[in-house]
Amino acid sequence: MADQLKSRRVILKEYVEGYPTEEHMELLPAADVDQAAAAAAEDGSVLVKNLYLSCDPYMRPKMSRPLGQSSYTSAFVPGSAITGYGVAQVVRSSLPALAPGDLVRGITGWEDYSVIRPPFTGLLAKIQPDHHGVPLSYYTGILGMPGLTAYVGFHHICSPKAGEAVFVSAASGAVGQLVGQFARLTGCRVVGSAGSDEKVELLRTKFGFHDAFNYKAEDGDLAGALRRRFPDGIDVYFENVGGKMLEAVLLNMKTHGRIAVCGLISQYNLTPGEKEGGAGVRNLECVVTKRIRMQGFIEPDHKHVYPEYESWVVPHIREGRVVYVEDVAEGLEAAPKALIGLFHGRNVGKQVVSIAAPQT
């Protein structure tokens, strides 16, 4: 019965300035799943058992105190469970489309059991029972938000053509590793950057990037590193980093180049004072002189594209043309460390937290 269930949860203890640490979060001990909350599964909500949790860079700004500026996603609430994308199994449901035992992906809590309430129930997507014969955890990554992000950003925003030169920053992460492979499948020449020699080797040997480099080994001359690898310039840049990397890319873009701005992870841990005192991005005049098209985008605006993406990518996965690397942490207690690791480059591939196995 639902009222006999025990659930732990990871909460944000306080808002963060600068780099977050594990101490900003806390794993609360197991407690009975509140009977009233479980009963909410009879009022348009769904009670789920969480199986896999996704750690993503966009979660860092949600750890900061809201400052009034508009955002597409609200901040975490101190004392409440952290939320994010995940894979779960339905325990109770009042929704006709979902039954106990169904596997779903969507926004859930960092806890053993979650009550998903409207409007987030509308974001739950059912996973077919055989999940296309791929690991269930893939629905936090290649078949989840990061996969659709890579597809939309590269194919829809950048409109690539065979033979073009593509650069991907943070290329070994959940999104970047896919953009590089999608570029290769399109017939582009693709180069990626990463923060360690291990990751650079992965880009070259596992993901099929034509070239890759460790940005930390370039003595600060990122513009020169790009110029050596793109002597004729960059047609398409998939932006995950911002800051100095964006400044260097702008100098190396071709006329009429395209930039899809997916993320700016170099900026997420700056304090308000650092942001206010900074000089801003240099070389923006290149956007005008080179007639560069630079567009930001977020995955929630493109949910309707998922069926198109799924039908395109699943055959590539099954036939080995697209591969995916995950960095899996075991247990809910490992979630804070896994999330913090993203901002220090400790993860290799998509960071996932495995907390339970599905019931058959």
Summarised one tens digit per residue, pLDDT across range 195-249 is: 999 999 999 999 999 999 999 999 999 999 999 999 999 999 999 999 999 999 9
pTM of the predicted structure, to 2 decimals: 0.94
Q: Answer yes or no: are the C-beta atoms of 15 and 90 closer than 8 Å.
A: no
Residue partners of 282: CB distance under 8 A and separation at least 6: 247
CB atoms within 10 A of CB 205: 10
Q: Could you tell me whether strands 46-54 and 83-93 are parallel, antiparallel, or unpaired per DSSP bridges?
A: antiparallel
Asked whether the CA dihedral 243, 246, 252, 255 is positive or negative, the reply is negative
The answer to whether the peptide bond before residue 119 is cis (omega within 30 degrees of 0) is yes
pLDDT at 7: 95
In terms of Cα–Cα distance, which of 279, 346, 340 is closest to 19?
A: 340
Q: Answer yes or no: are the C-beta atoms of 110 and 10 closer than 8 Å.
A: yes
pLDDT at 38: 59
Residue partners of 127: CB distance under 8 A and separation at least 6: 87, 102, 103, 104, 105, 136, 139
Q: Could you tell me whether strands 326-330 and 350-354 are parallel, antiparallel, or unpaired per DSSP bridges?
A: parallel
Residues of the chain with pLDDT under 70: 1-3, 35-42, 68-70, 276-279
Distance CA 167, CA 22 (A): 33
Residue 54 backbone dihedrals phi, psi, to 5 degrees: -100, 130
Tokens 């599964």 sit at which residue? 41
